[in-house]
Amino acid sequence: MRPAGKTACLPFLFLFILISPLCAQPLQEPSPSSKEPNSAEDFFFFEELFAAEGGLFSFYETMMDQEVADEETFFDDIIFLDDETFPDDDAFFFEAPTLIFEVPKFEMRSFDTIFPDFTRRQKTTAMSSAGLRHSYTKDEAAMFIPAPGMGIDLLGSIMKINPSHLIEALVVVPYNGRELDLLDIYNALGRIEKIKDHPVIINGSDFYVFTESTRIESARNRRAVSDPLPANLLPFSETMYLRLKEINFGNLFIRGEISISLYGITYSITNFTDVRYFLIPIVKAERFATIIYLEPVTEGILIYSMSGFYLPGFIADRVNLTPNINRRIQIFINWITEGLRRQES
């Protein structure tokens, strides 16, 4: 049980704490033997307890909780701090070091860095409007493989659908003014409604393969929605759903997935429903995919594409889809190129 006198003097004790730093004069430190428990000098240690570990509130908690027999015994248990404990006021404060985050310097790569084994003729063709193209079957080898360590593996992703036929495409769109960045590429890819405006040339005439191109809300809700306004910030990734009305195969329902990496943007499109020709399923759902990788390089915008689709043997023997897919890949390349030109203006 606490002494009644001890509890009653607490308000006066705190009042004294508040006024003592203002009124007190420096005193010589008395010897331990000369200290009286109730003298004014005994209370100057409170001024230092504001900065000591635990602080004044810790002291108050100790004083309230500790069972003491009398006031003299209580003060005998307290450790008095001398002036040498805190030599000056500056010791009470510290300044945290400034946090500096070092961002790796971005250095644009070149075409030769990504495709170091190309011949001069291949490189010249890649930088023309025609670009490079290579069609082959799963038993044959790809020709346009980026150097190891570039972080570009379209072939590995395409092989996950176990395709029977593959098509590679490679073109560099030169800068026409300022250098474009990833945000420019992303906004060029967002103009889905413009895909239908790009024809292919057949026998010297423009032939529009897609009569409609629009976004839809989702795989289940196929209501058309408008393209969003150009973005100011890059998303980390994005999934969209498209409906392309094709002149031969009718409505194609496509899932588009965009992912951002340090150097480029990968745009993958996959059919999430069957592709039919007069109600006959030609390509099953999830068995056609085109992956387009785009990167700003020193020579322009690199567009590297890998497409794969699976056709059963009895259909492949009767229907040659490779020329049709090639034309549609060209439409996508032209659509991206036109979108990039708009970003430059």
pLDDT for residue 107 is more than 90: no
Neighbours of 142 (CB within 10 A): 14
Q: What is the pLDDT of residues 55-79, one digit of tens each?
A: 444 444 444 454 444 444 444 444 4
Residues 66-99 as b/e (b if ≥16 CB within 10 A, e otherwise) read: eeeeeeeebbeeeeebeeeeeeeeeeeeeeeeee
| Contacts of residue 235, Cβ cutoff 8 Å, sequence gap at least 6 | 186, 258, 260
Alpha helices by DSSP H, the chain: 4-8, 10-23, 45-49, 55-65, 71-76, 111-114, 120-126, 154-158, 182-189, 313-316, 322-344
Distance CA 309, CA 158 (A): 9
pLDDT for residue 305 is more than 60: yes
DSSP 8-state class, residue 270 = E
Q: What is the pLDDT of residues 189-239, one digit of tens each?
A: 999 999 999 998 888 899 999 999 999 999 999 999 999 999 999 999 999
What pLDDT score was predicted for residue 97? Answer: 53
What are the backbone dihedrals phi and psi of residue 342, each rounded to the nearest 5 degrees, phi first? -65, -35
The greatest distance separating any two alpha carbons of the chain, rounded to the nearest whole angstrom, comes to 115
Yes or no: say if 244 and 288 are a contact pair by the CB < 8 Å rule: no
What pLDDT score was predicted for residue 281? Answer: 87
Q: Give residue 14's pLDDT band: very low, low, confident or very high (50, 70, 90).
A: very low
Distance CA 53, CA 50 (A): 8
Average pLDDT rounded to a whole number, residues 170-188:
94
- Which residues sit opposite 200 in a β-bridge? 207
| Contacts of residue 183, Cβ cutoff 8 Å, sequence gap at least 6 | 231, 232, 233, 234
DSSP 8-state class, residue 264 = -
Distance CA 283, CA 234 (A): 33
- Which residues sit opposite 136 in a β-bridge? 166
Neighbours of 52 (CB within 10 A): 17
Distance CA 233, CA 132 (A): 32
Q: Give residue 106's pLDDT band: very low, low, confident or very high (50, 70, 90).
A: low
Which position has the higher pLDDT, 242 or 91?
242
What pLDDT score was predicted for residue 112? Answer: 95
pLDDT for residue 120 is more than 90: yes
Average pLDDT rounded to a whole number, residues 270-287:
90
* Helices and strands per DSSP (H, E), number in the chain: 11, 13
Domains of the chain: residue spans and CATH:
4-25+34-92 (no CATH), 118-344 (3.30.530.20)
Neighbours of 200 (CB within 10 A): 15
Which has the minimum average pLDDT: 14-28, 289-303, 319-333?
A: 14-28
What pLDDT score was predicted for residue 75? Answer: 42
Average pLDDT rounded to a whole number, residues 285-307:
96
What are the backbone dihedrals phi and psi of residue 220, each rounded to the nearest 5 degrees, phi first? -90, -45
Q: Give residue 94's pLDDT band: very low, low, confident or very high (50, 70, 90).
A: very low
